[in-house]
Amino acid sequence: MWYLDELEMNEFLQFKQLLQQETVQCGLQPIPWAQVKKAKRQDLASLMTQRYGEQPAWDLALCIFPKIHRKDLCDKASRESAENAYRAHIQEKFIRMWSRDSFTEIPGCFDQTLTREEHESLEEYFTPRVPRRPHTVVLRALQRVGKTRFLMKLMLAWSDGTLYRDKFSFIFYLCCRELKQLRVTSLAGLISRERPDDSVPLADIVAQPERILFIVDSLEELECTLTEPESELCRDWREERSGKMVLSSLLRRKILPESALLLAAMPMRPEALESKLDHPNMQELKCFQDSHVKQYFCCSFGDRGRAMAAFSWVQNNEHLFTMCHIPLLCWMVCTSLKQEMERGRDLAATCCRSTSVFLSFMFQAFTPKGATRPSQQGQGLLKALCSLAAEGMWTDTWVFGEEELRRNGIGDTDTPTLLDLRLFRKYSESGSSYSFIHACMQEFCAAMFYLLDSPQDHPSRAVRPIEALLLTYFRKDRASWVFLGCFLFGLLHESEQQRLDALLGMQRSRELAPQLLGCLRSLVEMEDPEEQVEFLLLFYALFEVQSDAFASHLMSSLREAHFPLRERPDLAVAAYCLKYCSDTVLRGCDCLEVTLWRTSRLSCYRSSRTLLWWRQICSVLTTNEHLRKLRVVDTIFGKWTLIIQSHLCFCRTRKVSFSCETGIFFEVFTSNPNLQHLSMTSTQLSHDEVWFLCSVLSNPVCNLQELLQDSGLSAPDCKALASMLANNRKLTLLDLSDNMLAEGVPTLCAALCHPYCTMQTLVMDGCQLNKYSCPHLSEVLLSNANLRHLDLSRNPLMDEGVAQLCEALRQPAYSWVKPLRQCEITPRGCQDLAFVLASNPNLRSLDVGGNNIGDAGVRLLSKALLHPHCGLKELSLESCQLTRACCEDLASVIAHSQTLHELDVTSNALSPGGVMLLCEAVRGPKCEENNPHSHVP
Q: For 497-550, how does the pLDDT look when each residue is reduced to its tens digit (9 = 90+)?
A: 888 877 776 666 667 777 887 777 777 776 666 666 787 888 888 888 888 887
Q: Is the Cα dihedral 316, 318, 324, 330 positive or negative?
A: negative
Q: Specify the fold of 83-284.
A: Rossmann fold (3.40.50)
Pick 686 or 648 by higher pLDDT.
686
Q: What percent of the chain has pLDDT over 70?
A: 81
The answer to whether residue 343 scores a pLDDT higher than 60 is: yes
Q: Is pTM beyond 0.75 here? A: no
**pLDDT, position 651:** 58
pLDDT for res 679: 72
SS (H, E, C) 206-230: HCCHHHEEEEEECHHHCCCCCCCCH
Q: How far apart are CA 120 and CA 242, in angstroms?
A: 36
Write the pLDDT tens digit of every residue in 757-782: 888 888 999 999 999 999 999 999 88
The proportion of the chain whose per-residue pLDDT surpasses 90, expressed as a percent, equals: 25
Nearest in space to 119 (alpha carbons), one of 172, 159, 163: 163
The pLDDT assigned to 813 comes to 66
Q: Which amino acid would we find at residue 158?
A: W
Sheet holding 400-401, edge to edge: 400-401, 433-436, 424-426
Query: Nearest-CA neighbor of 327 among 364, 365, 303, 295?
Result: 295
Closest by CA position to 886, among listed 914, 928, 923, 922: 914
Residue 262: band (very low, low, confident or very high) from pLDDT cuts 50, 70, 90? very high
**Residue 299 confidence (pLDDT) above 50:** yes
Q: Which amino acid is at 295?
A: Q
Inter-residue contact 905 to 895 (CB < 8 Å): no
Residue 250 in this model has a pLDDT that exceeds 80: yes
How many whole angstroms separate alpha carbon 252 and alpha carbon 233?
A: 9
The pLDDT tens digits for 548-585 are: 887 887 777 766 666 666 677 777 787 788 777 654 33
Domain 797-937: assigned CATH number: 3.80.10.10
746 prior amide bond cis, ω within 30: no
Mean pLDDT on 253-280: 78
Name the pLDDT band for 860 (thresholds 50, 70, 90): very high
Strands 400-401 and 170-175: unpaired
d(CA 926, CA 921): 9
User: pLDDT digit string (tens) for 495-506?
Assistant: 888 888 777 766
- Per-residue pLDDT, averaged over 23-27, amounts to 80
Q: Which of 176-185, 380-389, 682-691 has the highest mean pLDDT?
A: 380-389
pLDDT band of residue 621 (cuts 50, 70, 90) is: low
Mode of pairing for the β-strands spanning 592-597 and 561-565: parallel
Query: 632: pLDDT confidence band, cut at 50, 70 and 90?
Result: low
Q: Is 269 or 316 the better-scoring residue by pLDDT?
A: 316
Distance CA 131, CA 125 (A): 15
The answer to whether 161 touches 221, Cβ cutoff 8 Å, is no
Give me the amino acid identity at 785: A
Average pLDDT, the chain: 81
| Model confidence pLDDT, tens digit, residues 107-163 | 555 677 888 888 888 888 887 665 656 688 888 876 666 788 888 889 999 998 899
User: Residue 586's pLDDT is what?
Assistant: 34
Q: Are strands 629-633 and 561-565 parallel, antiparallel or unpaired?
A: unpaired
Q: Of residues 261 and 196, which shows the higher confidence score?
A: 261
d(CA 666, CA 659): 14
Domain 2-69 has CATH 1.25.40.10: no
pLDDT, greater one: 554 or 870: 870
Query: In which band, very low, low, confident or very high, does the pLDDT at 215 lie, cut at 50, 70 and 90?
Result: very high
Residue from 533, 530, 536 nearest 519 by CA:
533
Contacts of 159 (CB under 8 A, 6+ apart): 87, 88, 90, 91, 94
In DSSP terms, 260 is beta-bridged to: 213
In the prediction, which pLDDT does 357 show? 92
- Strand order of the β-sheet with 706-710 is 561-565, 592-597, 629-633, 650-654, 677-681, 706-710, 733-735, 761-763, 789-791
pLDDT tier at 38 (50, 70, 90 boundaries)?
confident
d(CA 750, CA 726): 9
Identify which of 399-408, 606-615, 642-651 has the greatest average pLDDT: 399-408
> Residue 25 — very low, low, confident or very high, per pLDDT cuts 50/70/90?
confident
* Cβ 894 vs Cβ 922: under 8 Å: yes
Q: Which of 534, 450, 438 lies closest to 489, judged by CA? A: 450
- Tens digits of residue pLDDT in 450-485: 988 888 889 999 999 988 998 888 888 887 788 898
